[in-house]
Amino acid sequence: MKKVTSVFWITLAITLFASIWGSFAPKNLEKITGAIQTYISVHFGWYYLLIVSLFVIFCLYMIFSPYGKIKLGKPNEKPDYSYSTWFAMLFSAGMGIGLVFYGAAAPISHYMKTPPAAEPGTAAAIQDAMRISFFHYGVHAWGIYAIVALILAYFKFRHGKPGLISATLEPIFGDKMKGGLGTAIDVIAVFATIVGVATTLGFGAAQINGGLTYLLGLEQEFWIQLVIIIVVTILFMISAYTGLSRGIKYLSNLNMGLAVLLFIVILIIGPTLYILNTFTNTMGTYLQTIATESFRLSPENGEEQQWVMDWTVFFWAWWIAWSPFVGIFIARVSRGRSIREFLSGVLLVPSLVSFLWFSAFGMTAIDTQKNGADIASLPDEQVLFGVFDQFSFGVILSILAMLLIGTFFITSADSATFVLGMQTTNGALNPSKRVKFVWGIAQSGIAAVLLYTGGLQALQNALISAAFPFSLIMLLMIYAFFKAIRKDKAEVEQLKLKKLKKSLSRP
């Protein structure tokens, strides 16, 4: 492990410290991180709404501006992956487990327990539930990921910089990014990745356990979740050892195949017309209210403002905290695409898939609730299986869902070991297997320890708190990127002008 940088050792030490703290004093860690998260949400909610809207606006500007023609790579470079594989890889890394976990749970919760404005259990609450699910998992979420991915890919593949967050800030700070300041920035990015993935591993293990509860009557117990984590760890480490072009590529395509199969089955056996009508109607209300919802803070209505803090601000902070991991991975698999092609794909395709998924699973859950089954009273990790239990072949659907969760589980962890290895070996595009092995064991170990101590909530609080400093880094990244791309475009135009003058001067 000679190639590892100080970022590796510093972040590993911080991670071990947080794990030990969470193991021996989980309530204390939860209390402190919860207080930090609450303070940031209350005092900087306005800030999160503004910057995430800014990210989306910036992405749209880049799509329609002349900069959109610029390639993330050399002028004649071709993309490394086909469209289908590219979409599958970025989607698996960015939203996989989250969609399976919350696809039915979020809409039913907003319908029966936490609608933004309407009375719970009403027709208006259904509209609210679907619209807000679209909003939280749509263009804004992918705009956050796209910003980090775009800027990293631009500096890495067009200018040959290391694939590090700190390297993108060199147009502003110069060689300072190769010292202590750059190390601090990369440590924040790596720590956010570790915490985010460990939390996801915890959620994934809990949901697979929830499926086994329905299928086999097993209780929600730590030892079952530990076995799940161990099995998945072995599988994703095997995948990590096979490399990006084999392991993650094949698993991502398998993910999409399973997801499409499960979606089609639910669309057919669920309330098909209800799903399609709701999808169409919600798309309309989503597009109509996207500007208002983007800036909604309701300062004169304390209850409504608290809802925005608890949900929208929470989600924006969550996506920002995840953006170093997802952004770095998406950048790595996007070489050779133009900025316009890249941003259009990253913003629109995963958002549309998310909308279809929430419509199918959310409306099936709501329809099941309306027909007498008490789905809303189930824990989030069991809601999906509670819905499947209402169908005659629900066991098969539950097995298929657990298989899908497992493959998403593996690809997320596999992608994370690659990203962590890349970030702690000075941006190496093919980090050593030993480094990936260390991070793979570290992620799984943290998830297991925190599941045992009940410290996942503290870990979530820490993740959301880490989003605040990284959001400032993202603003600096945008400024550095715009500064560099304007210079790049000016140099290209000067070169074209020189060639034109030269050709005209010939006899």
Helix (H/G/I), strand (E/B), else coil: 297: coil
Side-chain half-sphere CA neighbours of 347 within 13 A: 21
pLDDT digits (tens, 9 = 90+) for 8-57: 889 888 888 877 887 787 778 778 878 888 888 788 889 999 999 999 99
Contact criterion met (CB below 8 Å) for 145 and 326: yes
pLDDT digits (tens, 9 = 90+) for 113-164: 888 888 999 999 999 999 999 999 999 999 999 999 999 999 998 888 888 8
Please report, to the nearest 10 degrees, the dihedral formed by the alpha carbons of residues 329, 330, 331, 334 taken in order.
130
Q: Name the DSSP letter for residue 310.
A: I
Domain extent, residue 17, equals 6-497
State residue 31's pLDDT score.
82
Kindly give, in sequence order, each residue whose CB lies less than 8 Å from that of residue 228, ignoring residues fewer than 6 positions away: 204, 205, 208, 209
Q: How many residues does the chain have?
A: 507
pLDDT digits (tens, 9 = 90+) for 209-257: 877 777 777 777 778 888 888 887 887 777 666 654 455 566 667 777 8
Confidence of residue 505 (pLDDT cuts 50, 70, 90): low
CA distance 480 to 165: 11
- Asked if residue 42 is part of any domain, the answer here is yes
Q: How far is CA 290 from the centre of its chain?
A: 20
pTM of the predicted model, to two decimals?
A: 0.87
Mean pLDDT of the 365-391 span = 87
Distances (CA, A) of 433 to 378, 391, 418: 41, 44, 9
State residue 367's pLDDT score.
94
Number of domains in the chain: 1
Contact criterion met (CB below 8 Å) for 29 and 23: no
Helix H or strand E segment including 62: helix 26-64
State residue 441's pLDDT score.
83
- Asked if residue 284 is part of any domain, the answer here is yes
Nearest to 135 by CA among 277, 293, 292, 280: 293
Mean pLDDT of the 270-279 span = 94
- Asked if residue 506 is part of any domain, the answer here is no
- Asked if residue 505 is part of any domain, the answer here is no
Buried-state track 201-240, b at ≥16 Cβ within 10 A, e below 16: bbbbbbbbbbbbbbbeeeeeeeebbbebbeebbebbbebb
CA distance 225 to 39: 33
Tokens of 265: 């089955």
- Asked if residue 502 is part of any domain, the answer here is no
Confidence of residue 282 (pLDDT cuts 50, 70, 90): very high
One-letter amino acid for residue 102 of the chain:
Y
Domain at 245, CATH number: 1.20.1740
Tokens of 228: 């799940």
Q: What is the mean pLDDT of the chain?
A: 83
Confidence of residue 380 (pLDDT cuts 50, 70, 90): confident
